[in-house]
């Protein structure tokens, strides 16, 4: 009986754990994507500042 209950609990828990794993990996990939975009934008802005020397303003 306890083995059956354990199997039922695992059957209930594993999809939730998989869902959490997928969700966290999705959040992590979004975060990394935004981070790389921000870094790219700052690099572009830096190049613009250096090229046109906007720092005089």
55 and 49 Cβ atoms separated by less than 8 Å:
yes
Q: What is the pLDDT of residue 51?
A: 82
The answer to whether position 2 is within a domain reads no
Q: What is the pLDDT of residue 28?
A: 92
Give per-residue pLDDT as tens, 5-41.
888 888 888 889 999 999 999 999 999 999 999 999 9
Q: How much is the pTM?
A: 0.51
Q: What is the pLDDT of residue 55?
A: 59
The answer to whether position 57 is within a domain reads yes
Q: What is the pLDDT of residue 56?
A: 59
Which residues span the domain enclosing 44? 18-57
CA distances from residue 36 to 30, 33, 41, 44 in whole angstroms, order as listed: 10, 5, 9, 12
Instruction: State yes or no: pLDDT of 1 exceeds 60.
Output: yes
For the chain, the domain total comes to 1
The answer to whether position 8 is within a domain reads no
């Amino acid at each position: 009986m306890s083995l059956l209950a354990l199997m039922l609990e695992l059957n209930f828990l594993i999809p939730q754990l998989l869902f959490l794993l997928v969700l966290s990996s999705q959040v992590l990939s979004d975060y990394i994507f935004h981070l790389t975009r921000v870094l790219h934008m700052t690099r572009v802005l830096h190049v613009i500042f250096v090229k046109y020397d906007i720092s005089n303003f």
